[in-house]
Every structure is written in structure tokens, then in C-alpha cells.
Amino acid sequence: MGSFLKHWPRIAVTLLPLVFALLHAVGAVRLGVLQHLDEIIYDSRLRATMPNTLDERIVIVDLDEKSLAEIGRWPWSRNKLAALTDELFDRQQVSLLGFDVVFAEADESSGLKRLTELAQKEFRGQAGFAAQVEQLRESLDYDQVFARALEKRPVALGYYLTSDREGRASGVLPEPVMDKSDLLGRQVPFTSWDGFGSNIEQLAKAAPMAGFFNPVIDGDGVVRSLPLVAEFKGQYFEALSLAMFRMLAGLPAVKPGFPKDRVLGRNYHRLESIDLHKDGKVLSVPVDDRVSVLIPFRGRGGASGGSFKYISASDVLARRLPAGALKDKIVLVGTTAPGLVDLRVTPVGETYPGVEAHANVISGLLDGKVMVKPDYSVGYEVVILVIAGLLLALALPALSAPLAVLMSSVTILAVMGVNFWLYWSYGLVLPLASALTMVVTAFGLNMSYGYFVESRSKRELANLFGTYVPPELVEEMVKDPDSYSMKATSRELTVMFCDMRGFTKMSEKMEPLQLQHLLTGVFTRLTSIIRGNRGTIDKYMGDCVMAFWGAPVETADHAHLAVKSAMEMSNAVREINQDHRARGLPEIGIGIGLNTGVMCVGDMGSNIRRSYTVIGDAVNLGSRLEGLSKTYGLDIVVSETTRKLATGYAWQELDSVRVKGKEQAVAIFWPMAPKDRLSPEAATELKTWKTFIKAYRAQDWDQCDMLMLNLLRMNEKRYLYQLYSERVASMRLLPFDPAWDGATNFETK
């Protein structure tokens, strides 16, 4: 309770994003930016998870530019459409045909009028004149010809619904698919229109199955969904895609699917699904609050999109397809020609053919994979917001900045993980933007409050670090004292062990004061390099210096700075040796080991003596790597974790080693030079070495010998190459070992 009261102001501030997010979720305060962000998330996820595979069941006969060029501008005479229909059913043997176009006007062919007039002149006064004229008229009545082609065939015509002040209507609507009495008096929020443009009566009677092809256009102008059932003056009609699917399923009856009354009560007005009833079986298609389904886009769309096969209508009419090429296919007649204005802006393309949207819905219905924003999405959003918001509000004020970042990140990943799992496994599109925004905002407010309101001076504590770290780092710590503590923590750091070679021989030959002076000079030079690169000196141990980077002041590029220090120290030793040779002093060498990992850092020791230091397995490995530098004849040996973070250098892999106390092998490396300073000769040598290492681990000793000759020719004095040359000679005597992982074991420290 005391901790809660202590952090209450900060908790209250952190709760503010939760309050606004809940108001948005329940619709009390709609935040357009969150709605837009949800749409962006949905679109991105949709594009990332599209199957991008061909659905061979559905074919689109395209009124494309090629067809318009060959046959003429749209609309075509109905006798051509009759020929197209006959070709598809008689010769190609399709199973179902749908038209994503509307035939709203009679075919006023001027040829029909002219030929009728000629017939009247030619046959006037002759016996049977009227019958001959009527016979001629019927043979040239293209609407009648097209109607006969549609009769008694599985055809669904298309039409459109409109909304304008005058409620214009043309053509004949099909029979409603659902009766108002089925709604049980509930005011379901169907997508509603007050006008329509449908097919002429002659065609509507010939093909009584029809469906509207209107999409739902969201506020940003993007088509993401199609209404399955829409309302027009108290009657309910089905979409073209649903009409075609019902024809495939044997025309099941359409009924509204409500949530269970015992759960939500009869005052709940949203549909949960559109239910298809046939022979005692029910197929439920889940719908959203507009009685719509999200279009399950399969790919980018169009003839080159790869989702559906596109065939030019002119090729069908010209009978360029082999007979039976479309046998048992579901065919949709639509257009991709820009001039016919049926291209839509969708999440997967800005010029997406409208006909393919229906093809996607039919495909999804056939597979039972129609995505939907369910009726309980608001409840889901509220639950997620409350759980995540309260958790963050209660926990963040008590956490340090790194832990707050970690917890916020984990919360974001958890919220996204659950949301994506429901999307991928069950096709549920649930809101995500409000939860993500709430988490980020709660974290930001929490950190801001802690920085601007709760910050207290801890300069005394920061000044204690002056014993351990460079003054310039202490100055940084004083600027934000609350971020630093002497308490032990675990964090990712880079540790260095630097040992002076030849120290034992020097101590035997030099006077103590002379030796002290030499060591002081060397350590002063090396220490200045470490401090200049923001390193913390841990301790001096005889002829060895230990340092680390990343604490107490967090440094993002700690690995890079450690490698930079090591290379500068190696160069400094070469300069020192030049001076020693000139003065007749013994030369020295150094071995440096670097490792990056999670270490425990803090003020440690006894009540008598304490120091700010690092401990842990990562530290021990750094010490082992320093010892390996002599084995490989190099002054610097670096672990793989350090190499991955220090990306600005060209690295030569030395080996994969298993050091004492570690069961898992680790790769070790040597920094050849900064990448921008690597000479062409060194780059060639490095490339050859990489090929050698690959052959070595594959136990291809013949290739190793050939590559080693090249390496020795490039750098014959390189001890590393001599070492591996001896290894290859030794390994060649052994049989091939499939279990060998290529690692070298070291049992000593």
C-alpha cells in the first residue's frame, strides 16, 4: 500500500491514455487518427499474408482493351453477348456464369430498324407479310437473342444500388433474398440505398438470379469490404458474389444470424452472420456491423496478379480457346479497361478490377476463409485496453527506465501477438491501433513524469563513481543522477582484458624502479586510450589491465569503442617499441581479449574494501580470449557477440573454440582494419581465408592444402597460417568424423 501511495500521481498520469482509448473504443470520442492507423495496420498485414497463389476454380472473362479494339466500344450488341454466353456454356462447358456488368437499356440497334423498314417495302402487299416481318424482327431482336441464351442456364446478372435524393430506379430487381419478418423486429444496420440500376425486364426474366456489385468504400476512399446483403426500401437483396455462391450450393435459403438471446438479449440489433439453410444444414458466414465481409484478397490483382486466370472476351468470341478449356469453371465477366470505370482503390492496388473483388469473395466463401470484423470487436478492444492499461499504470512507476522499456515492449508484442494469432487462425480482424497507441503514450507519460517531476538530485552518489570512471563520464552522470546507481545490475557490456607479454623476462633483467617506470609509462599510454574512448578502468593486476564499456554510463556503441581502443592500443605498443629499440630498452607485446554479453555490474567487495566492477560468464570468457591471443599469434582476439555489434570493421575469423568452463563453442575473430581502410590485397587474403575455413570445417583437406599455399604466398610470415597448416597435416591422418563441429577445445585457462 505504501508503494502504491508513493507512486499514485505517476499512476494517475499513466492512466490517462487508457481513459481516452476506452472512450474511443466505445464510440464516445472517435479519434480519426486511430481509425486510420487501424486501416494502415490491416492493409499492411493483409499484403503480408496474401497467399499470392492461383485459384484455378474461377476464371475472369475480361472486357479488356484488346476486346474493345477488336469488337468495338462498349456496350456491345446483345447478339455478341449471346454468342459469348453460348460459347462459354456449349463449347467451354462452364459450370456458372456471372456478369459484373449491368444491361440497363434495350439494345437499340439501328440495323434492326433499317432492316424492318426494308422488309416493309419489300414484302408489303404480299401474302403472309405480317408473319414474315415479325419473323425477321425476332431474328434481329438482339435482346431476345441474348435472353434465349440466358434462359435455363446457371447465370447470375449484376446490377448496382444507388443513393441520391431522387431515388432513381431503372430495370427490374430480382426477388429479395430475405424477408423483413426474419429480423424479428430488430433494426439491423444494413448498408442501405434508395435507388438502383438493374437489367431490363426481358433479361431479368430470362436470368432471375442477380446480385448487386456495390462495394463498401471506406472514409479514405479504399475498398476493403463488400456487403453480402443490403437494404432497399425495406427489402433485402444479396451481393453478386453471394448469389453465385448460393447457386453453387443449391440455392440455400438466406436467414439472419443473431447472437444468442440469452447472452445479449433481444435488444441487440447487429447480425453475427448470414446463415444459409438447406436440407436441415446451416452454413454461417460471419459479417461485420454493416452486414459486410472483408474481401480476402489473394494477390495484387489484374491479369498479371496471379490470383485468377484472365481471358480476353475477344478470344472467347473468336473461339481461340480449345473446346472444354474452361470446363466446370466459375466464370465472371467483367472489365479491366480503364474507360469502363470499374477499377478500384484497394489495400493491394490502386487500380484493382472490381470484378476480381467478387472473385475473391467467392473464393473465400468456397474455402470457408472469409475475414470479418466480428460483432464483439468492441468488447475485445475494451478487455485488451483494460488489462494492458492497468498493468502498465501499476507497474511502470515502480520500474527503472530499462525495465520500463522492456515491459512496454513485451506488452506491445503480447497485444500484437494475440491480435495476429486471431487474425491468422480464425480470420478475425480486431482493432489494434488503440492498444498500441495507449501503451506507447503511457510509457512516454510515465517516463516524462519521472524525468520532469520526480527527478531528485543524486550528485553525491554520482560523485562516488569518480573513483572508478573518467571525470568526463562523471560529468555526464551528474546531468541525470537518477539514472545511475551503485547497486548491482545486469546489462550488456563489453569487457577487455589486456596482458603485457614478456613481462616476466623483463622483471628478471631490470631494476625494480626501472621496471616500475616502464610499466607506468606503458599503462599510462594504454589507460589514456581507454578513457578517451569512454571506457571504465576496472583494475590493474600486475601486468594486466581490465576495463569495460557501457557502464556506469550506458553507451550504445560500447562494442565499437572497445574494438577501437584495442586497435589503438596495439598501434601504441608498436610506437612504444620503436622508442624502446632506440633507447636500448626491451620490447613488449600485448594480448587483448574482448567479449560482449550480459554482465553483473555494480559496487562489490567486502565491508573493508569495495570496487565498482563486473562479474559473470561473459567476463570470464573475455579473460579466456585474452589467453588465446598467444595461441593464434595475434594481439587481439574478439568474440562473435562483439564482432556482430562492431560492424565498422573487417573481421578475420580465427577459429571456433570451446574454452575451459564453457560447453558451447564460440567463434573468435581478429579485427584486420576498419572497413573503409581495408586494402585490396587484404580483402583478397580475407576472401581466400574464408574459403579455407569453410573447407577446413568440411574436412576437405585437399582443398585446404591448395588454399593454404595461396595464403602463405600472400603472407608467409603469418603465424596463424602456419598453425592451421600444421593442423591440416595432423587432421589428414584421422578418418572423416561426421560429428566434428570444427571447434578447438582448450582445457587450460
413, three cell numbers:
508484442
* Averaged pLDDT for residues 501-517: 78
pLDDT in tens, 288-315: 888 999 999 999 989 888 999 999 999 9
Whether the CA torsion 612, 614, 615, 621 is positive or negative: it is negative
pLDDT computed for residue 1 by the predictor: 42
pLDDT computed for residue 266 by the predictor: 47
pLDDT computed for residue 476 by the predictor: 63
Residue 571: pLDDT band (50, 70, 90) is very high
Paired with 614 in beta bridges are 601
Q: Give the CA dihedral 468, 471, 475, 477, nearest 10 degrees.
A: -10
How many CA within 13 A on the CB side of residue 286?
17
User: Is the distance from CB of 555 to CB of 646 less than 8 angstroms?
Assistant: no
**How far apart are alpha carbons 322 and 406 in whole angstroms?**
63
In 691-728, which positions are buried (b, 16+ CB within 10 angstroms) versus exposed (e)? bbbebbeebbbeebeebbeebeeeeeebebbeebbeeb
pLDDT computed for residue 479 by the predictor: 59
pLDDT in tens, 602-626: 877 666 666 778 999 999 999 999 9
> Minimal CA–CA distance to 101: which of 156, 181, 29, 177?
156
Single-letter amino acid, residue 571? N
pLDDT computed for residue 450 by the predictor: 63
2, three cell numbers:
505504501
**How far apart are alpha carbons 100 and 310 in whole angstroms?**
14
- Cα angle 402, 404, 405 (rounded to 5 degrees) comes to 65
> Minimal CA–CA distance to 119: which of 148, 147, 142, 139?
139
H or E element that contains 457: none
Through-space distance between the first and last CA atoms of the chain, rounded to whole angstroms:
51
User: Is the distance from CB of 435 to CB of 388 less than 8 angstroms?
Assistant: yes
pLDDT in tens, 335-383: 998 877 788 899 998 889 999 999 999 999 999 888 888 878 888 889 9
pLDDT computed for residue 519 by the predictor: 83
Q: Is 100 helix (H, G, I), strand (E, B) or coil?
A: coil
Residue 121: pLDDT band (50, 70, 90) is low
pLDDT computed for residue 415 by the predictor: 92
pLDDT computed for residue 666 by the predictor: 94
Q: Is 485 helix (H, G, I), strand (E, B) or coil?
A: coil
Whether the CA torsion 420, 422, 427, 428 is positive or negative: it is negative
Other beta carbons less than 10 A from residue 420's beta carbon: 15
Q: Please report, for residues 225, 569, 593, 594, 657, the alpha-carbon distance to residue 669 in angstroms, rounded to integers and kept in the order given.
A: 55, 17, 10, 10, 11
Residue 515: pLDDT band (50, 70, 90) is confident
pLDDT in tens, 528-543: 999 889 898 888 887 8
The larger pLDDT score, comparing residue 444 to residue 657, is at 657
Residue 2: pLDDT band (50, 70, 90) is very low
How many CA within 13 A on the CB side of residue 271?
30
How many percent of the chain have pLDDT more than 90?
Answer: 51
* Averaged pLDDT for residues 385-414: 87
Single-letter amino acid, residue 718? R
* Averaged pLDDT for residues 402-421: 91
Q: Is the pLDDT of residue 125 over 60?
A: no
349-353 vs 58-62, strand pairing mode: unpaired
**How far apart are alpha carbons 533 and 547 in whole angstroms?**
11
* Averaged pLDDT for residues 445-452: 71
25, three cell numbers:
473504443
Q: Is the model's pTM score more than 0.75?
A: no
> Minimal CA–CA distance to 397: which of 1, 13, 723?
13
Paired with 252 in beta bridges are none
pLDDT computed for residue 119 by the predictor: 57
Paired with 507 in beta bridges are none
Q: At what angle do helices 401-426 and 433-452 cross, to 10 degrees?
A: 180
pLDDT computed for residue 7 by the predictor: 61
**Segment of 115-124, 297-306, 459-468, 581-590 carrying the highest mean pLDDT:** 297-306
487, three cell numbers:
547497486
435, three cell numbers:
492498444
**How far apart are alpha carbons 522 and 316 in whole angstroms?**
89
> Minimal CA–CA distance to 301: which of 312, 292, 310?
310
pLDDT computed for residue 265 by the predictor: 46
Residue keyed to cell 468470341:
317
Q: Is the pLDDT of residue 8 over 60?
A: yes
Mean pLDDT of the residues in the chain: 86
> Minimal CA–CA distance to 97: which of 358, 306, 365?
358
* Averaged pLDDT for residues 316-339: 93
Q: Is the pLDDT of residue 316 over 60?
A: yes
pLDDT computed for residue 485 by the predictor: 62
**How far apart are alpha carbons 637 and 632 in whole angstroms?**
9
pLDDT in tens, 647-672: 999 999 999 999 887 788 999 999 99
Single-letter amino acid, residue 177? V
DSSP H helices, 456-612, are 459-464, 471-479, 503-509, 512-532, 558-583
Residue 426: pLDDT band (50, 70, 90) is confident
pLDDT in tens, 236-286: 999 999 999 999 999 999 999 887 754 444 446 678 889 999 998 999 999
Strand residues in 143-264 grouped as ranges (E)? 155-162, 169-170, 191-193, 195-197, 210-212, 216-217, 223-227, 229-232, 235-238, 253-257
Q: Please report, for residues 211, 274, 360, the alpha-carbon distance to residue 365 in angstroms, rounded to integers and kept in the order given.
A: 16, 12, 9
Q: Is the pLDDT of residue 107 over 70?
A: yes
Residue keyed to cell 433481444:
266
The larger pLDDT score, comparing residue 309 to residue 14, is at 309
H or E element that contains 153: none
Q: Please report, for residues 108, 558, 616, the alpha-carbon distance to residue 304 in angstroms, rounded to integers and kept in the order given.
A: 36, 50, 58
pLDDT computed for residue 187 by the predictor: 85
Residue 112: pLDDT band (50, 70, 90) is low
